[in-house]
Amino acid sequence: MGLPPEHRHAVHRDEIDLLIESEEAPIALADAEPSDVDHAIAEHARSFIGDGATLQTGIGAVPSTIAALLAEGPGGGYGLHTEMFTTGCMRLHQAGKVTNDKALYPGVSVTTFAAGTAELYEWLDGNEEVVFLPVELVNTPELIARNEAMVTINAALAVDIHGQVVADTIAGAQYSGVGGHEDFVSGPGLSLNGRSLICLPSTYGTGDKRRSRIVPWFEAGTVITTPRHQVDVIVTEHGTAELMGKTIHQRGLALASVAHPDYRDELLAAAERASGGRSPLA
């Protein structure tokens, strides 16, 4: 569904050059099976979500697990303002947890595209509880900030002790699109009570090849997705690091506390070197 009269999801036939009919079903994305790490991250993230919060969630096991915890938990009265509408968002609706008593587009969940299971697509068809609006509206940080108690939940690949976030490249090579990541990280920062959560496991790999996702500094050529001054909270399975308003040294201490214990000493040393605006490099 759209939101008439301005966004009624209709195209005049004179605007169509070529129309191809198809019986192909939309691509179905099954929810990833959450790991113990995913559950731990979700539990930490949930502590920032109070009754009546307006939520944005991205794709992946952690957002899905957070949605499941909220659907099964005692809270509620949530609103939804999210670029991507997922199966987890549907579960929140089905559990009666979504009231959309929010300042911006009250009474409806707002999104710009959906990706999930076949059940999700069937549930969305003709469902007046959810409206699809242009991305230039849904992802505008100033509009996102108008939602009461906005809490955004996004993923990342790596973070350095300054709080810079890499979410779409690996070793400088493109891994995914930027999408609405920065929009929904910066939006809550424009409000008095919004929070932005960036969730990631503390490590990747296994055994001798295990590496920390929280690093003292990024190597030359690293492509930054989100700058440090927009980052609010980093969440790993070891806890939460609130970075907003902190010095680089304080950020390093906070991030070391949520890193894997095997890598905390080098992060603490880098944080000490970065005191007073100095470089964290050895």
Q: Give the residue numbers annotated as catalytic, written as ranges.
A: 83
Report residue 275 CA to chain centroid gap: 30
- Listed in sequence order, the DSSP H helices in 47-186 are 61-72, 87-94, 118-124, 135-138, 141-144, 181-186
CB half-sphere exposure, 113, CA atoms < 13 A:
10
**Torsion angles phi and psi, residue 244, rounded to 5:** -55, 125
Cis peptide before 5 (omega within 30 of 0): yes
| Amino acid code (one letter) for 27 | I
- How far apart CA 278 and CA 232 sit, in angstroms, is 22
Q: Compute CA distances 251 → 65, 143, 167, 271, whole Å.
A: 27, 28, 19, 8
> Hey, CA dihedral for 139, 142, 146, 148, is it positive or negative?
positive
- How far apart CA 182 and CA 196 sit, in angstroms, is 10
- How far apart CA 247 and CA 81 sit, in angstroms, is 31
**Torsion angles phi and psi, residue 271, rounded to 5:** -65, -40
| Burial (0-12, 13-18, 19+ Cβ within 10 Å), 95 | middle
